[in-house]
Amino acid sequence: MTPPIKHYLQFADFRADEYAYLLARAALIKRKFKAYEKHHTLNDRTLAMIFEKASTRTRVSFEAGMYQLGGSVVHLTSEGSQLGRSEPIEDTARVISRMTDIVMIRTFEQARIERFAEFSRVPVINGLTNEYHPCQILADIFTFIEHRGPIAGKTVAWIGDGNNMANTWAQAAALLGFTLHVSTPRGYEVDSQLAALDGNGGDKTWRHFADPVAACAGADLVTTDVWTSMGYEAENEARKKAFASWCVDADMMAVARPDALFMHCLPAHRGEEVTAEVIDGPQSVVWDEAENRMHVQKALMEYLLLGRQAGEFA
């Protein structure tokens, strides 16, 4: 019997030991990339990328990454494909997965990517949904480890919207053993069910703070995101008012640990969720964070298609 296909639809889909493997493998892949060494483990494999929302980093990191692994890429958008003319997601999944080896989707509801995966013959990767952004958190954790060593036992402060990034950070904290402080305005809280590994809020390991400065106290990493995520644009004006005190600034960074890092998945709006002083300052690692999307996703695609690879990891 063929083993079930492995998908990556949310952070909770992998165990801690799989993350340990992936992070080590990504470090190896990054070193080889920097040394201009070929790493063609996915020769002749094809990645289909489906974007139902805009993207810069996800598009470039998956596309460049797949070519660097020796494979090729097909890029689809909803407007440019029959998805925009109401072809059912199940039929799209059946067709695309007969012609390609792996699929990355950026879409709206998590239920939509889950439905695609149900009808796909090949692994499916979540490139962002309304609920989760697992590839980004994988890159963020890789970046933290590069700069500061293991993340277990550390404290991450999430400041801003209780969105796809916040839910994914909460899942990662429960899986990888770090503490998550979350501060959101009233009405924009993290949904405990989405944030939990068990899907019913039963393993809640993060703590809510009404005051964003209190959430940053003693943090090893302070991180934030846009006040209005893609798909929520109609709420923009209301959100600008509600989030006014959730701008990561020098006062917030001052109560974090002196060696605290700042991260933002980007794109950023200087003067809204973060000041220019912080995002362009010495504690910010946002450019490494963006670059690392590519290295971790190369490890992820390789793992989903080939499983664990023996080899040098040191």
Residue from 165, 175, 190, 221 in contact with ligand NVA (CB under 6 A): 165
CB of 314 to ligand NVA, least distance (A): 33
128 lies in the site for ligand CP, by CB under 6 A = yes
CB of 207 to ligand CP, least distance (A): 25
Active site residue 133: yes
Catalytic residue among 10, 68, 110, 136: 136
Active site residue 106: yes
Judged by DSSP in three states, 212 sits in helix
Of residues 131 and 220, the one with the C-beta less far from ligand NVA: 131
Determine the distance from the C-alpha atom of residue 148 to the mean position of all C-alpha atoms in its chain, rounded to a whole number: 19
With DSSP H G I counted as helix, E B as strand and the rest as coil, what are the percentages for the chain, rounded to 5?
Answer: 45, 15, 40
Residue from 14, 48, 50, 58 in contact with ligand CP (CB under 6 A): 58
Task: Pick the piece of the chain touching ligand CP (CB under 6 A) from 15-23, 55-63, 71-79, 195-203.
Answer: 55-63
Contact of residue 92 among ligand NVA, ligand CP, none (CB under 5-8 Å per partner type): none
Catalytic residue among 25, 57, 106, 239: 106
Q: Are 109 and 129 in contact (CB under 8 A)?
A: yes
- C-alpha dihedral, 279 to 285 to 287 to 292, nearest 10°: -150
Sheet harboring 221-224: ordered strands across?
A: 206-208, 179-183, 155-159, 221-224, 261-264
As given in the structure block, the two tokens for residue 91 are 């039929």
Active site residue 293: yes
Of residues 60 and 99, the one with the C-beta less far from ligand CP: 60
For 210-214, which contacts have Cβ atoms below 8 Å and span 24 or more sequence positions? 210/183, 210/186, 211/183, 212/159, 212/183, 212/245, 212/246, 212/248, 212/252, 213/251, 213/252, 213/255, 214/183
Residue of 144, 140, 121, 103 lying closest to 9 (CA atoms): 103
Residue from 24, 73, 230, 242 in contact with ligand NVA (CB under 6 A): 230
Q: Residue 210 CB: number of other CB atoms within 10 A?
A: 10
Q: Are 13 and 39 in contact (CB under 8 A)?
A: no
228 lies in the site for ligand CP, by CB under 6 A = no
Catalytic residue among 225, 247, 264, 297: 225
Distance, CA of 157 to CA of 170 (rounded, Å): 11
Residue from 265, 279, 300, 301 in contact with ligand NVA (CB under 6 A): 265
Residue from 155, 163, 183, 292 in contact with ligand NVA (CB under 6 A): 163
Active site residue 211: no
Residues interacting with ligand CP, by CB under 6 A? 55-58, 128, 136, 265-266
Residues interacting with ligand NVA, by CB under 6 A? 128, 163-165, 225-226, 229-230, 265
Q: Which residues are catalytic?
A: 106, 133, 136, 225, 265, 293
